[in-house]
Structure 1
Amino acid sequence: MSVGSIWMIGDVQGCCDSLNHLLEQPKIADDPNARFWFAGDLVNRGPRSLATLRRIMAMGDRALSVLGNHDLHLLAMAAGARRPSKRDTLTEVLEAHDAPEILNWLRQCPLAHFEYGHLLVHAGVLPQWSAEKTLALADEVHAQLRSNDWKQSLLTMYGNEPDNWDDTFRGPERMRAIINALTRIRLCNKEGRMMLSVKTGPEVIQPGLTPWFNMPKRATHDVTVVFGHWSTLGLTLKPDLISLDTGCVWGGQLTAVRLQDQFVVQVACDQSVDPLAD
């Protein structure tokens, strides 16, 4: 069997119709051996979160997704650690007859994946983390999510502190710092602290703040970091950086980028949601 392409896909957020349309595009559909990397946030805000999860699960080993903040929010709701907000569209997932199977599949998804020189995360990495360290820290959280005590571990997931990293962190503090970096980071201040409450696009960044990927001496400069999450940043293609979230859920586009040559396939989307909403 020949080796197919790897298509890296941005935040779907429950827009299953757009995902189906994207997968039907000739460059993608014509490759029966293609694999798919999803940058997380498979669910929420969009109208068909349940169908999206079932669609991706049906791909079997051809599909891999890292966890985004909305995916973790779904798990937290299932664990009783979080109440739904008025903008959530996750009730159909939690009430589905196959909800246990879906939630178990989601708990097996990593927070980071590395292959062919590409590091896939949902939001980004702290500047002092190498690819190797990022994977090791992501595995710490992944181990908790796969454990029998996964519900208990999610009770302390939420919060903007700590907003930095210290190797001495332990327990919930350590887990929260890792999750915040991998699933929520956009901007850092001069000290490298995560400014998690700031969600603006790069053209209106406040003085003293810098996108995480532009921080000096970023330890992942030697790999290509692939991420979503930052819809107001949009598509970015560089040798060491690929940003995939092009705002499908708020009426933008759903984007796939081929790993081998950064060839781009996009489809227009019809949803309209606040682009600054996490």
Structure 2
Amino acid sequence: MAVYFVGDIQGCYKELKLLLQQVNFSADNDELWVAGDMVARGPDSYKTVKYLMSLGDSVKAVLGNHDLHFLATYAGIKKPKANDFLDELLAAPEIDEIISWLANTPLLRKLPEEKVYMSHAGLSPQWSLKEAKDCAEFAHKKLKGKKREQWLSIMYGERPNSWSQVNNKEEKFRFTINALTRMRYCFADGSLEFLCKYPPAKAPTNLVPWFNVPNKALSKCHWIFGHWAALEGKAKKKNVYPLDTGCVWGGHLTLLRWHDKQYFKQPAFKNCP
């Protein structure tokens, strides 16, 4: 069995299929770990989700910020954005099944018997591994529970941006969502910053990539993530693996075969409008 990790698909269905053809992916024998942002901005979100669901237990996905925003859009909490190209997905005949599948998708996964973790954005430098796992499970239970809409409605916002400022369940939920699905940079104390999307060479000097903030937890494991296309798949750190290479923006879709650390790439057909 081969384990493959793939970066942000974002509705790039054709590229995904061609990428998996490169490695002769078999749902009977292999696993596909998806680093979040399966939908939005690309042309084929519906086909992408339908295909991933068809692969059954061979797919091990986590939610990204666009996946969460889609859940909020379906719930009527947010209005659809024209450039998200979600009309076909929202009108899908099996939309209830799709929503259930996404809502039951966790925010954090660990590769069995290995110290390998995957989340969409990364690991908050203010968390231990236990705190990260506990918080991810806490938020996951809220998203798949009967009060999902209530929790989706409070996930938006940038405060608190420090773990030490969390005082209640609502703030814990929001911080967890932000850390695991939106974070790119932190301040020196490990608190989260949300505005900067530039690569590190162009970022303000007071900001530090989350994976470069001193963190004992991160030093003890490997971390797979997406979300940050400006990194172009490069982090200059041996135990972190950024896989968002901007397929939806005209870059390419990246697949990492874990056992031999070999990368496979599928160029985008064209830039998204």
Place the TM-score, normalised by the shorter chain, in its bin: over 0.9
In structure 2, C-alpha distance between the alignment counterparts of 1:216 and 1:53, rounded to whole Å: 36
In structure 1, C-alpha distance between the alignment counterparts of 2:229 and 2:216, rounded to whole Å: 22
Is 1:128–1:219's contact at 8 Å kept on the other side of the alignment? no
Matched, 1:240 2:230: no
Is 1:13–1:249's contact at 8 Å kept on the other side of the alignment? yes
**Aligned with 1:153 (options 146, 151, 154):** 151
**Aligned with 2:229 (options 231, 239, 252):** 231
Is 1:119–1:131's contact at 8 Å kept on the other side of the alignment? no
What SS does structure 2 have at the residue aligned with 1:111? Answer: coil
* 2:36 corresponding residue in structure 1: 40
Q: CA deviation at 1:123?
A: 0.5
Moved over 2 A (4+): 27-32, 166-169, 236-239
The one-letter amino acid paired with 2:250 is G
Kindly indicate which of the two structures has a greater share of residues assigned to helix: 2
Cα distance change, pair 91–207 in 1 and its aligned pair in 2 (3 A) = same
* 1:17 corresponding residue in structure 2: 14
What SS does structure 1 have at the residue aligned with 2:17? Answer: helix
Matched, 1:94 2:93: no
The one-letter amino acid paired with 2:57 is D
Structure 1 stretches lacking a partner, 5+ long: none
Q: Which moved more, 1:257-266 or 1:8-17?
A: 257-266
In structure 2, C-alpha distance between the alignment counterparts of 1:66 and 1:30, rounded to whole Å: 20
Q: CA deviation at 1:234?
A: 1.7
In structure 1, C-alpha distance between the alignment counterparts of 2:79 and 2:27, rounded to whole Å: 42
The one-letter amino acid paired with 2:50 is R
* 1:254 corresponding residue in structure 2: 253
Structure 2 stretches lacking a partner, 5+ long: none
RMSD over aligned CA atoms reads 1.6
How many aligned residue pairs are there?
Answer: 270
Scaled by the length of structure 1, what TM-score is found?
Answer: 0.93
* 2:265 corresponding residue in structure 1: 266
The one-letter amino acid paired with 2:56 is G
Q: Which moved more, 1:84-93 or 1:230-239?
A: 230-239
Is 2:8–2:227's contact at 8 Å kept on the other side of the alignment? yes
Matched, 1:194 2:192: yes
Scaled by the length of structure 2, what TM-score is found?
Answer: 0.94
Q: CA deviation at 1:272?
A: 1.7
In structure 2, C-alpha distance between the alignment counterparts of 1:273 and 1:131, rounded to whole Å: 37
